[in-house]
Structure 1
Amino acid sequence: MNTTSPVLLLIYNRPAHTEQVMAQLREAEPPKLFVAADGPRTDQPDDAERCERARDVATHVDWDCNVHTLFRDENLGCKKAVSSAITWFFDHVEEGIILEDDCVPHCTFFPYCSHLLERYRGDERVMVVSGNNFQPARRSYDASYYFSAYSHCWGWATWKQSWEHYNGDLETWSELREKEWLQGWLGSEAIAQYWKSIFDRVARGDIDSWAYAWTFSCWTQHGLSVLPSKNLVTNIGFGAHATHTNAKDGETGHLSTYPMLFPMEDPANVVRNYAADEYTAHSHFGIKTGLRRWVDRHTPELIKRAARSIIGGSYGY
């Protein structure tokens, strides 16, 4: 399905992964394609050749398209390479879709993003359009998407006006960390403590992540993310050449994709889905909230009580 939105493709040294994403881009035929590539690492003998092959794959465009490239000679690392590439992208466009070389979207991801980029253009309450849904299959929705605090970035879209809030060095964190702002935004002391630890490490430079800095930037603006009612992107980047993902990430990254149905149904109100965010905090980030702690602590007792009830012929407590 074609898209009218420009696309930024972030690549590095994985030509086979890049080809899978390019196959989907050929179906979507974006009118503008921006390709940004970090430079090879000097301590990896095969990096230069792999980076060159990935660049060849990403620029092999056989549809009517304006192609722009930003190819680094030196390795900048994940945080600087990605964030500077996104800034470069928005030096040229007002809004667009962002894909990394291991994020393979369903073909309906592109019109989904285009619809939402148009619908929430200029709406400062919404800062991200994500293609990810990590919720349990049984969860029901009132529309084609919902609103979340979490800006999942395995295939996403945003606007220049939103990206202008990107605070890569978390300059304001030292002031905000002593306030109750984070707990007030997230609604849980346990979740706030988890993210306080993350932001501390990012601010110290212990984590080379643009994504955590982007999450912080969105939250300081009380910006919400749009997440689809079904997963639209699968992450194939788990393996020998992965840098920032691990086996646990693969549990959500390898989720199947499903088609978005059109015309899309928009929610009646821009209201965050707290139940979905609670599930994300526990299942995706491993945070034990108050309810989850209680369940974990009482699980042995609950199992015994359930067993006695079942033996007694009743499923009640």
Structure 2
Amino acid sequence: MVKHPVLFETFARPEYARPVFESIKRAKPRKLYFYSNKARSDREDELKKNEEIRSWVYEIDWDCEVHTWFRDEYVDVYTSLMGSKRWLFSHEDTMITLEEDCLPSQAFFKYCDYFLDYYKDEKRIGFITGDNYTKGFNTKGVDHFITRSIHHFGWATWKDRWESYDFDLIPEDIIFNEYIEKYFSNDLVLRLYYKYLYIGLIPFINRTKCWDYMKVLNQFRDGSFAVSPIYNLVQNVGLNGMHTHNGKGPEFEFGNNDDKGNYPFTYKPIPVLPNEMYDYAESLSEGLRKKAPLVKKILRLEIKYRYPIIYNLLKKIRNFYR
């Protein structure tokens, strides 16, 4: 039985949500927060799927304190996912959260339960991720890594960490004030990659206040780290996000074939510092180094946002000579 509260975030994709819910049922959390955004009223098929998912609440037949928030009206994905987490944290001090397309192994729950307790008072740890995409990285007898991971396909955190984040911060204040450079001080490629990535995301973040990008910006600012398992514990079986259908998301396999809830705990303490070799291996596994942008592209974007007058002048000069 899972000790810490589980948040199940759903919308209208039962084909993905059903396996996730079955995994939650097997784990039997003591507290389940069942969240459902309302389907869009002009989409009949979506309404039916939304109601189908909501009906699953009647399948909860174990000793469980069930909380439901089934919205009466549709809200956009950004409002939805921010609201669901704030709802849980209005009642609880810890959270294990799964979107409807993030399929956890049974070991994921034991892993989160243990490390939520273990790192409760270690403020340098911001969250616990269930994701590990390194495949075959030498663990050297440890049962977890400290990492600068920003993956949220099944994760856990504490109320005090969540409430420490400023979800109204201005992205430019983080991106152009050396926070990324300091955070990835030992890895030039990751510095360049994330600098370029987040410069490009500035308009989107300012428009949506998307919770995960805002959380990562806070992570850059605060210098906090994540706990990562020694192998992958969550599969992303759906598309990008739980409400959108804009291209396929990664479908990462579980790290081992044992899905009986066994996690190889060694209970061996490790320094609360990023494992540089692990971060390096993960960056390779995601292909970041193959996609690393040219420095001149980064400089062009920096000039555009930092010095718009100069940028526009240079643009006019370039167009004049074309």
TM-score range, shorter chain: 0.7 to 0.9
| Secondary structure of residue in 1 paired with 2:157 | strand
8 Å Cα contact 2:37-2:80 kept in structure 1: yes
- In the superposition, relative to structure 1, how do residues 24 and 203 fare at CA in structure 2: closer, same or farther (>3 Å)? closer
Are 1:145 and 2:123 matched, yes or no? Answer: no
Q: Could you give the per-residue CA deviations for residues 8-30 of structure 1, whole angstroms, max 9, x where no partner exists?
A: 10011022322211211122111
CA distance in 2, matches of 1:30, 1:41: 30
Are 1:226 and 2:222 matched, yes or no? Answer: no
| Secondary structure of residue in 2 paired with 1:113 | helix
The corresponding residue for 1:38 is 37
- In the superposition, relative to structure 1, how do residues 60 and 218 fare at CA in structure 2: closer, same or farther (>3 Å)? farther
Report 1:109-258 matches (<5 A): 109-135=108-134, 137-142=135-140, 143-169=142-168, 171-187=169-185, 188=188, 189-205=191-207, 209-238=210-239, 243=244, 246-247=247-248, 249-250=249-250, 253-258=251-256
What amino acid does structure 2 have at the position aligned with 1:177?
Answer: I
8 Å Cα contact 1:7-1:97 kept in structure 2: yes
| Secondary structure of residue in 2 paired with 1:33 | strand
The corresponding residue for 2:81 is 82
What amino acid does structure 1 have at the position aligned with 2:265?
Answer: P
- In the superposition, relative to structure 1, how do residues 284 and 272 fare at CA in structure 2: closer, same or farther (>3 Å)? same
Alpha-carbon RMSD:
2.5
Are 1:6 and 2:26 matched, yes or no? Answer: no
The alpha carbon displacement at 1:92 in A equals 0.6
The alpha carbon displacement at 1:43 in A equals 4.0
- The percent of aligned pairs where both chains have the same amino acid is 26
What amino acid does structure 2 have at the position aligned with 1:23?
Answer: E
The alpha carbon displacement at 1:132 in A equals 0.7
8 Å Cα contact 1:190-1:288 kept in structure 2: no
- In the superposition, relative to structure 1, how do residues 59 and 186 fare at CA in structure 2: closer, same or farther (>3 Å)? farther
- In the superposition, relative to structure 1, how do residues 204 and 282 fare at CA in structure 2: closer, same or farther (>3 Å)? farther
8 Å Cα contact 1:59-1:67 kept in structure 2: no
Q: Could you give the per-residue CA deviations for residues 55-87 of structure 1, whole angstroms, max 9, x where no partner exists?
A: 112452010111101111222222210111101
Q: Could you give the per-residue CA deviations for residues 28-67 of structure 1, whole angstroms, max 9, x where no partner exists?
A: 1111100111111234332211111111124520101111
8 Å Cα contact 1:78-1:210 kept in structure 2: no
CA distance in 1, matches of 2:113, 2:267: 14
| Secondary structure of residue in 2 paired with 1:164 | helix
8 Å Cα contact 1:145-1:227 kept in structure 2: yes
What amino acid does structure 2 have at the position aligned with 1:102?
Answer: D
CA distance in 2, matches of 1:120, 1:37: 30
The alpha carbon displacement at 1:277 in A equals 2.3
CA distance in 2, matches of 1:221, 1:151: 14
Aligned length: 284
What amino acid does structure 2 have at the position aligned with 1:109?
Answer: F
CA distance in 1, matches of 2:58, 2:129: 25
8 Å Cα contact 2:131-2:228 kept in structure 1: yes
8 Å Cα contact 2:39-2:46 kept in structure 1: yes
The alpha carbon displacement at 1:166 in A equals 3.1
CA distance in 1, matches of 2:155, 2:68: 20
8 Å Cα contact 1:24-1:105 kept in structure 2: yes
8 Å Cα contact 1:19-1:58 kept in structure 2: no
The alpha carbon displacement at 1:88 in A equals 0.7
The alpha carbon displacement at 1:200 in A equals 1.1
What is the TM-score of this pair, normalised by structure 1?
A: 0.81
Counterpart pick for 2:278 among 276, 279, 304: 276
CA distance in 1, matches of 2:4, 2:59: 19
- In the superposition, relative to structure 1, how do residues 117 and 184 fare at CA in structure 2: closer, same or farther (>3 Å)? same
CA distance in 1, matches of 2:146, 2:246: 25
8 Å Cα contact 2:8-2:100 kept in structure 1: yes
The corresponding residue for 1:266 is 268
CA distance in 2, matches of 1:181, 1:39: 38
What is the TM-score of this pair, normalised by structure 2?
A: 0.80
Report 1:276-315 matches (<5 A): 276-284=278-286, 286-288=288-290
